[in-house]
Amino acid sequence: MNRIQRPVLTFLLFLCLATGMVVGFNSISVEGGVNLGQPETEIPATLFGMHLHHVATTPTYRTDPPITQLTPWPSVPIPTWRLVAAYVEWFALERQKGEWNFEILDKSLELAETHQVEPLMYLGFSPRWASQRPEEPSAYGPGKAAPPQNIEDWRNYVRTVATRYKGRIHYYELWNEPNGYKRFYTGTIAEMLELSREAYQILKEVDPTITVVSPSATGDWGSSPGVEWLEEFLRQGGGDYADVIGYHFYVMPGPPENMMPLIQKVQAVMAKYGQNHKPLWNTESGWLGDQAFSSEDKAAAYVARSYVLNWAAGVQRLYWYDWDSSSGVKIHLTHSDQETLTPAGVAYAEVQKWLVGAHMRSCESLSDKTWICSLERDRGETAWIVWNPDRQLRFRVPEEWGVNQVWNLAGDQQLLSGNQIEIGESPLLLKYSNR
């Protein structure tokens, strides 16, 4: 134990005794806290996923108002890109049977390679000609949410894409939000199991190094809760055809802290069916709905807290929805020019600097709802992220921390004056700096 860790543990133990909490370090178990899922793992850049819709093309489906200009490539690091609603779905690639158009996907991959971004390719959404129900409504137009009528068409689609992009696409995800109220999928779980099995086998035949992400259910409310869908999918054997379990941890209109119990529910289902050894990815999250955020600072705080808490809870990737502002998105990372960063966009870049390359050693919520997450880098540097989601308050900084600098989500820093700082919903980074 190094000279910084011992006094920190002593201080936290004092807090536990004073407040009646029970804490096991590297496995936090407190009311309102998290069970730290991966304290020995260095936080990778790929935790920070993103959705980009219009960097390669400007079609107008599902856009209001219509998109007429390409989105400039982001000015902040985008380590990994989920190609959903990026106009590379099955129905966009094979509009008529055997007639393939890879122009947009080719351009997307060229952009990804130019900017050293890892693509997560999405497989799903039937063309009308292949659909079981070609006239059935869906989020992308008639027929797209129904499974294919002929499984051979699906097999051919998966094999064609995997073969063409062998060595360029290493991650594939199957079908978006299969429990999503008939907007994205209208088949049965048994049919999704067949699609998953066929895709998994073909992808591994083409390239055994490919990583396959399960169909990602969403939410835990309404007539089709995602946790129940995932449990039944795994009960029927769906885990055999996935290397990663995907889920969409949407909790709007609630705060990011509401993701914690939902993540724990999903992890419990994974454990029940022997899948808890596999990575869990949050392949889509953000805030959607009718109500605008009360302030840009609040939006920035939600972005930062989402990434900190997902990692703390054991989620290895979070793909933010989204960069270039689809309809209904309430946390915008860019302004209307799709280029100038909002405070939330700045926070997305800033929290990467805080987390990537560090180890998260603990993360807990105290009795007053203040969150404290400790970080350590290999060279022995230690830092703390602190916030309170409910209110502004004065926080006493333990002398044992040895910090002298405070960073905010805008990237501003100031010297720590005295042993107290004001904290609130926006996380602050406290660390020592000799500069």
Q: What is the DSSP string of 241-278?
A: G-SBEEEE---TTS-GGGHHHHHHHHHHHHHHTT-TTS
Burial environment of residue 37 by CB neighbours within 10 A (0 to 12, 13 to 18, 19 or more):
buried
Contacts of range 40-44, beta carbons closer than 8 Å, 24 or more positions apart: 40/359, 41/359, 42/357, 42/358, 42/359, 42/378, 43/311, 43/355, 43/356, 43/357, 43/358, 43/359, 43/360, 44/79, 44/316, 44/356
DSSP element (H, E) containing 30: none
The runs of H, that is alpha helices, within 207-341 are 226-235, 259-272, 296-313
pLDDT value of residue 308: 98
pLDDT value of residue 321: 96
How far is 365 from 344, CA to CA, in rounded Å? Answer: 23
What is the Cβ-side half-sphere exposure of residue 277, based on CA atoms within 13 angstroms? 3
How far is 104 from 57, CA to CA, in rounded Å? Answer: 7
pLDDT value of residue 21: 34
The residue assigned the tokens 């044992």 is 400
Q: Which fold has domain 45-357?
A: TIM Barrel (3.20.20)
In 3D space, the residue among 26, 2, 393 whose CA is nearest the CA of residue 12 turns out to be 26
Query: Between β-strands 428-431 and 405-407, what pairing exists: parallel, antiparallel or unpaired?
Result: antiparallel
pLDDT value of residue 180: 73
Instruction: Report, in angstroms and rounded to the nearest whole number, the Rg of the chain calculated over CA atoms.
Output: 22
How far is 80 from 297, CA to CA, in rounded Å? Answer: 25
pTM over the 0.95 mark: no
Burial environment of residue 68 by CB neighbours within 10 A (0 to 12, 13 to 18, 19 or more):
exposed
Taking 3-state DSSP, the helix, strand and coil percentages for the chain, each rounded to the nearest 5, stand at: 30, 20, 50
User: What token pair was written down for 158?
Assistant: 């998966």
Measured CA to CA in angstroms, residue 231 lies from 33, 161, 239, 272 at distances of 25, 29, 10, 9
pLDDT value of residue 23: 31
pLDDT value of residue 305: 98
The residue type at 255: P
Question: Are the C-beta atoms of 402 and 425 separated by less than 8 Å?
Answer: no
Rounded to the nearest 5°, which phi and psi values hold at 96?
Answer: -125, 150
Q: Which residues of the chain have pLDDT under 70?
A: 1-37, 59-67, 222-224, 435
Q: Where are the domains of the chain?
A: 5-31+361-431, 45-357
How far is 124 from 195, CA to CA, in rounded Å? Answer: 9
Neighbours of 168 (CB within 10 A): 13
pLDDT value of residue 27: 36
Measured CA to CA in angstroms, residue 164 lies from 52, 102, 156, 237, 363 at distances of 22, 10, 12, 29, 44
pLDDT value of residue 15: 39
Predicted confidence (pLDDT) per residue in 198-213, tens digit: 999 999 999 999 999 9
> CATH classification of 5-31+361-431, choosing from 1.20.120, 2.60.120, 2.60.40, 1.10.287?
2.60.40
How far is 218 from 290, CA to CA, in rounded Å? Answer: 19
Query: Between β-strands 118-123 and 80-82, what pairing exists: parallel, antiparallel or unpaired?
Result: parallel
Q: How far apart are the first and last CA of the chain?
A: 26
